[in-house]
Amino acid sequence: MKTIADIAKIAGVAKSTVSRYLNGGSVSEETKKKIELVIEETGYAPNAFAQSLKAKKTNIIGTIIPRLDSYATSRTLMGIDERLRELNYHMLVSNTGQDLTREIENIYTLAKQKVAGIILLATEVTDAHLKAIQEIDIPVLLVGQQHDNVYSLVHDDETAGYAIGKYIAQRGHKKIAFLGVGEYDVAVGVKRKKGFAQAVSEHTADVEARFFETTFSMSDAAERAGQLFDEFSPSAVVCATDNLAIGAMKAAYQKKLRVPMDVSITGFGGYEVTAMMNPSLTTVRIHFTEAGHTAASHIAKLVKGEDVPKLTYSRFDLILRESVDIRTNHLL
């Protein structure tokens, strides 16, 4: 394993210069590039970050988010910020633009900046995430995703998916489409779908459910929903997020399908705008702000060395509105 002395020798600089660089001190741009190149070539960087954390930490909690234009993210951040202020911590937000490489880089960067802990709103958890979390050696809390080796706060996606699936099946719908996202997102792409599938399979044998995939984009969801209306002609569409549901309602309008008389549509998330739509959207409301409060409380305890549950679930409610109709007969 390489040491600081090894890095200094290869880069042709003093050991103190490498140490100063690793601890965020002033180093010339030319020297900085030399050291960074050696670190990259030798794979020393992660251990260097871990060593730099032996210095005194701040009262700053780093929060890494995948995107800024998300209702779920903004509400969660509001909750985190509110509780951290009460606990005399400050929040430093780092946006990755849904770029996994930047997400990993930001874990190391925040650690180098001496944050006391990190809250990671991850889209997925890869081996690179786990390696970074282990090497920075400071408390990390996952929000929205789960891993057995990392403290996690998740939305109860599978149970919520089951609840919305059961509700739709009980309304008499026999042809049900599920519009979701890729399985790279375990929470939204796997667990919500799994809960829904379990519910409709248990309700009655004559329910036909088909699964369709899109992106998180409303416009992509509208396009895919238009296709599934043509391919499947469902009486109900269960969407994995409220944004997808808004896209599906747009597609229904374009196909001259009336909601809920011709097709029922549900969402997932409980965004405020869904109550203002016409018809208003039946959805699963996740308590994002409350989840943010809990995340902040947990990371503060971890920073202090106190115990928190390895896995915590946030709450959800089924919000019944106008976009779902009872179906006794669905003409094929």
Helix 157-170 to helix 192-203 angle (10° resolution) is: 30
pLDDT of residue 247: 98
Interatomic CA distance for residues 105 and 96, integer angstroms: 9
Q: Is the pLDDT of residue 207 over 70?
A: yes
Q: Quick: pLDDT tens for 235-249.
A: 999 999 999 999 999
Q: Quick: pLDDT tens for 184-197.
A: 888 899 999 999 99
pLDDT of residue 327: 81
Q: What percent of the chain has pLDDT over 90?
A: 71
Residues 6+ apart with CB under 8 A from 4: 15, 18, 19, 22, 48, 51
Interatomic CA distance for residues 276 and 283, integer angstroms: 13
Interatomic CA distance for residues 5 and 14, integer angstroms: 8
Strand 208-213 versus strand 175-180 pairing type:
parallel
Tell me: domain 60-155+288-315, CATH 3.40.50.2300, correct? yes
pLDDT of residue 52: 44
Q: Is the pLDDT of residue 332 over 50?
A: no
Q: Quick: pLDDT tens for 90-149.
A: 999 999 988 889 999 999 999 998 899 999 998 889 999 999 999 998 999 999 999 999
Q: Is 257 exposed, middle or buried (0-12, 13-18, 19+ CB in 10 A)?
A: middle
Give residue limits of the domains in the chain: 1-38, 60-155+288-315, 157-286
If pLDDT is split at 50, 70 and 90, which confidence band does 57 have? low
Interatomic CA distance for residues 321 and 232, integer angstroms: 25
Interatomic CA distance for residues 245 and 265, integer angstroms: 7
Q: Quick: pLDDT tens for 6-25.
A: 888 888 998 888 877 876 67
> Residue 305 gets which letter from DSSP?
T
Q: Is the pLDDT of residue 56 over 70?
A: no
CATH no., domain 157-286: 3.40.50.2300
Q: Is 322 exposed, middle or buried (0-12, 13-18, 19+ CB in 10 A)?
A: middle
Strand 140-143 versus strand 283-286 pairing type:
unpaired
Residues 6+ apart with CB under 8 A from 296: 61, 79, 80, 81, 82, 83, 84, 87, 89, 119
Residues 6+ apart with CB under 8 A from 9: none
**Residue 127, helix vs strand vs coil:** helix
